[in-house]
Amino acid sequence: MTPSVRLQEMIRVIRSARTQGEERGIIQRECADIRAQFRQGDNGERSHSLAKLLYVHMLGYPAHFGQMECVRLIASPRYSEKRIGYLGAMMLLDEKQDASLLITNSIKNDLSHSSQYVQSLALCTLACMGSAEMCRDLAPEIERLLRASNSYIKKKATLCAVHIIRKVPELAELFTPSARSLLSEKNHGVLHGAVVLITELCARNPDTLDQFRKAVPELVQIMKGLVTSSYSPEHNVAGISDPFLQVRILRLLRILGHNNDTASDAMNDLLAQVATNTDSSKTAGSAVLYETVLTIMDINSESGLRVLAVNILGRFLLNNDRNIRYISMTSLQKIVQTDHNAVQRHRGTIVDCLKDQDTSVKRRALDLSLALVSAVNIRSMMKELLIFLSTCPPELRSQTASGIFNAAERYSPSKRWHIDTILHVLTTAGGDVRDETVPNLIQLITTASELHCYTVHKLYKALVKDISQQSLVQVACWCIGEYGDLLLKGECEEIEPVQVTEDDVLDALETVLQSHMSSAATRGFALTATMKLSTRITDNVDRIRSIVSIYGSCIDLELQQRAVEYNALFKKYDHMRAAVLERMPVMDKNSPGHTNGDTSGEIKEPDPSKPKPVEAGLLAEPANQVCDLLDLLGGTDTPLQPNPVPTSTATTTSSADLLDLLGGLELAPVPQTVTLTVYEKNGLSLKIQCDKQTETEVTVTLIASNSTQTDITNFTLQAAVPKSVQLQMKAPSGNVIPAHGLGQVTQIVLLNNPNKVSLKMRIRVSYSNQGAVHQDTVQIDSFPSPACQPSISPL
C-alpha cells in the first residue's frame, strides 16, 4: 500500500469511528506509529508521517512532538520534504516556541535558493509565524526580493514585508523606496500586495503619508484602468474587474485624501466615475460601491459627490441582503449629522427597515430614525416610532423609549402633544423607561397649568385600566393627589367628561396600595396622594384617616414612617394640614435644553409680595429616592428642593413645632464638595465629585456626559483602590449617555479608609460610540483633605 493511500486510509478509518472513544483509540495507535517512524531516522517515510500528524493536529489532538521533525524536514534538500516541513512549521510552531528560532537559518538559505517555489515556501512561513527577532534578521533579504524580477516572488515578498512592519514598526523605512516602485508593476498580485504595503506604511507614519500623496495620480490611473478595462477571465468576478484590488486602492485613496484638498481634488472625478459605472446587483459590485462611499465621505469631496454617495447607500437599503442593508444604515448613521438633508430623502425606506425580522437591522434602523427626527417631521416620525415601540423586541424597548423622550423634549410642537406622547410610552412600555422619567414628566405637567384637568382625567383612566406599569402609576398617583379636586369636578373641555366620585378615586388608590405589583416607591406615591386628597374632598376624610393608620404598622420602614407622620398631622397638627398639603409650586428646569437624560430641576420660589403659607417638609424615604436620584443625575452645585412627587409641604414661622415629629432634628451642615474633570476624550467627559462624610468615609460621585453627535452606549465604570481601603460601587444610573450633552450618567462610589492611608483610585472607562469600542484608564493619585481634590494622571 503506497504511503499516500495510507494517509487516505487513516482518514477513512477515523471518519468511520462511531464514538468519541473509538476515535481516540485510533488516534493513539496512529500517533504511536508516527513516533516510531520519527525515531527510525531518514527512512523516506518522515514526510508522510508528518502529513498524518498534521491531520491529527487539525482534529484537535496533541501534535507537539512533531515540532523537531518539522525543523529536520525544512533543512532537507528535497522539495517534497521541505514543503511538508514548512507546512508543519506554520501549523505547529509560533513565535513563542523556542523551536521556531532553529528554522531562521534555513529560511535565510531558502530565500536565496535558485527555485522560486522553495523561496515562496520560506516567504510564506516567515509571513505566517515570523517572530520579531526573525523579522529583524531577515528584513534585508525581504527587501532584496522586493526588487526581484520574478512577479511570483515579488507578490509573496510584499506580503511578507507587511508582516515585518506589523511586528517591527521601526523597519518601515527600509521598505518605503521599494513600495513606491511596485506601483508600476502590471501583475495584479504584485499591485495588490504593493497597495496593502503602502497602506500599512501610511497608517503608521505621517511623514510616509505625505510622501505617498504624490502617488495619488498614479493610483487614480490604475483604478481607471480597472474600471474601464474590457473583460478579463483571469481577474473578472461577477462582471467586476478585480474587485479585490479596487477595494484596496479605494481604501488607500481614503487614507491619502483625508484632510488634504490637493489629493481629494485629484480623485473626485475617479470616485464619481466608479460610483456611476459600477453595477450593484452583485455582491462584488456592492463591495466596490461601499468602499467608494466611505472614501467620498472621508475625504474633502464636493457636495454633489456626497449626495451621490448618500443615494448609493439609499439604494443599498432596498437590497434583499440584510448584511448590505445593515452596513448601509451604519454608514448613514455616521454621516447623518453632516449631510442631514441628503439622508432625510431616504427616511421612508429607513423607517420601513424597522419592520425587518432581523434584530440587528432593527437596532440600526432605530438609531438612524431617531437621528432623523426634526421639528418638521416630529409628528410623522413619532407616530412610526410609537408603532414600533408596541411591537419591538424587549431588548430594544428601553432604547426606543429613551429616544422618543429625547426627541419629544427637543421638538415637541405643544405641551399637550408632549404629555400625550410620554403617557403613550408609559402605557406601552412603562417598565422599560429610565428612573428619571417620572420626575421629568411631573415637572412638565406642573408647568402646563392649562392642562392640569386634561392630564389628571387621562391619567385616572389609565390608572383604572392598568396598574402594572409602575412609572405610569406613580405619575398618575401624583397627579391625583395634586389635582384630585379637578378630577372630581368632572369639567374638562379637552376630553370627554367622566363623572368620578370620591369613593372611586380612593378605591383606585387603595387598589395600588394593596396590589402585589406595586413597588415600595409606588405605594409611597399612592399613600401620599391619599393623604393630599384629605384637603381636596369633604365626605371621606375618615376613610383616608383609616387607610393612613393601617400603614402605621407596615413592615416597610419608609411607608411606616410616612404613615406615622401623616397620622400626626391628623391628630396633633390638624390645624396645619391644609397648608402643609396644598399644591406644589411650579418647577422649572435649570436650562431649556434638558432632556430625559438630565433631570436636574429646581422649584420656583413663590412671590414674596403675596402673603401665602410656605410649605414644610414631610418627606419619607420612597419620595426622597426620586429627589436623591435627581440630585445624582443633575450634577448641580445648588441643593435640590424637596421632592415634588409625593407631597407638597409648607413652612411658616409657626411650623417649627412640626419638626418635633422626628424628635427635634437639627439640620446637618452640607459636606464640602468639589467637582473636577478627570477624563475627557472622544467627546466623553468624566467628572468626579468628592463629599467627605467623616474622618474615614468619603462618597465619590462620578458624572459622565457626552458632547458627540451620537449617543454613547455600553458605558461602564470599574474602580480599584488599595487593599486597606474598602470600596463599594452603587449601581449606575444607566449605560447610555445622550448626545449633545443632553444627559448624564452617574455612579456613586463609597470609600471607607479606617487606617487613614493616602487614598488612591484607578478608574477604567469602557464605552462604544459610532460602532467603535473604547477603553481607557485614569489614575487618581491622591485625595487630599479637606476638599478631597484629586490629582489626576491618565494612563
In angstroms, how far is the first alpha carbon of the chain from the final one? 65
Q: Any long-range contacts for 288-293 (C-beta under 8 Å, 24+ apart)?
A: 288/240, 288/243, 288/246, 288/247, 288/250, 289/316, 290/316, 290/327, 290/331, 291/246, 291/247, 291/250, 291/251, 291/254, 292/250, 293/331
The predicted structure's pLDDT at residue 756:
79
What is the per-residue pLDDT across 89-136, written as a single tens digit (0 to 9) for each?
898 888 777 777 788 888 999 998 888 999 999 999 999 888 888 899
CA distance 469 to 517: 9
Average pLDDT over residues 504-521: 91
H-type alpha helices, 358-469: 359-372, 378-391, 394-411, 415-429, 437-447, 452-465
Tell me the three cell numbers of residue 626. Answer: 426620586
The predicted structure's pLDDT at residue 664:
41
The residue with greater pLDDT, 434 or 618, is 434
Instruction: Give the closest residue to 629 by CA, choosing from 645, 606, 608.
Output: 645
What is the per-residue pLDDT across 689-713, written as a single tens digit (0 to 9) for each?
887 667 788 888 889 999 988 889 8
What is the per-residue pLDDT across 452-500, written as a single tens digit (0 to 9) for each?
888 998 899 889 998 888 899 999 999 999 988 888 887 776 677 678 8
What is the per-residue pLDDT across 720-763, written as a single tens digit (0 to 9) for each?
888 888 888 888 888 889 888 888 899 988 888 888 788 888 89
Sign of CA dihedral 515, 453, 501, 616: positive
Contact 434, 596 (CB under 8 A): yes
Q: Dihedral (C-alpha) 716, 721, 727, 729: value to the nearest 10 degrees?
A: -10
Output Rg (C-alpha) for the chain, integer angstroms: 36
How many CA within 13 A on the CB side of residue 267? 36
- Determine the distance from the C-alpha atom of residue 431 to the mean position of all C-alpha atoms in its chain, rounded to a whole number: 22
CA distance 49 to 54: 9
Look at residue 605 and tell me whether its pLDDT is greater than 70: no
CA distance 461 to 510: 15
The residue with greater pLDDT, 379 or 618, is 379
H-type alpha helices, 258-377: 261-277, 283-298, 303-316, 322-335, 340-344, 347-352, 359-372
Enter the DSSP assignment of 76: S
Using the CB atoms, write b or e for 86-123: b if 16+ within 10 Å. bbbbbbbbeeeeeebebbbebbbebbeeeeeebbbbbb
Average pLDDT over residues 407-418: 90
* Residue matched to cell numbers 504584485: 190
The predicted structure's pLDDT at residue 494:
65
Considering the chain, what is the average pLDDT of its residues? 81
How buried is residue 762: exposed, middle or buried, by Cβ count under 10 Å (0-12/13-18/19+)? middle
Instruction: Give the closest residue to 75 by CA, choosing from 48, 50, 51, 103.
Output: 103
Query: In the chain, helix, strand, coil percent, each to 5?
Result: 60, 10, 30
Enter the DSSP assignment of 650: B
Look at residue 627 and tell me whether its pLDDT is greater than 60: no
162-to-139, 189, 435 alpha-carbon distances in Å: 11, 14, 52
CA distance 15 to 27: 11
Confidence at 645, pLDDT banded by 50, 70, 90:
very low
Residue 346 burial (CB count, 10 A): 22
The predicted structure's pLDDT at residue 5:
52
Using the CB atoms, write b or e for 350-383: b if 16+ within 10 Å. bbebbeeeeeebbbbbbbbbbbbbeeeebeebbe
Confidence at 783, pLDDT banded by 50, 70, 90:
low
Confidence at 642, pLDDT banded by 50, 70, 90:
very low
The predicted structure's pLDDT at residue 576:
87
- Determine phi and psi for 180, rounding to 5 degrees: -65, -40
Look at residue 163 and tell me whether its pLDDT is greater than 60: yes
Look at residue 791 and tell me whether its pLDDT is greater than 60: no
What is the per-residue pLDDT across 187-220, written as a single tens digit (0 to 9) for each?
888 999 999 999 999 988 888 888 888 889 899 9
Percent of the chain with pLDDT over 70: 85
CA distance 676 to 789: 8
The predicted structure's pLDDT at residue 481:
92
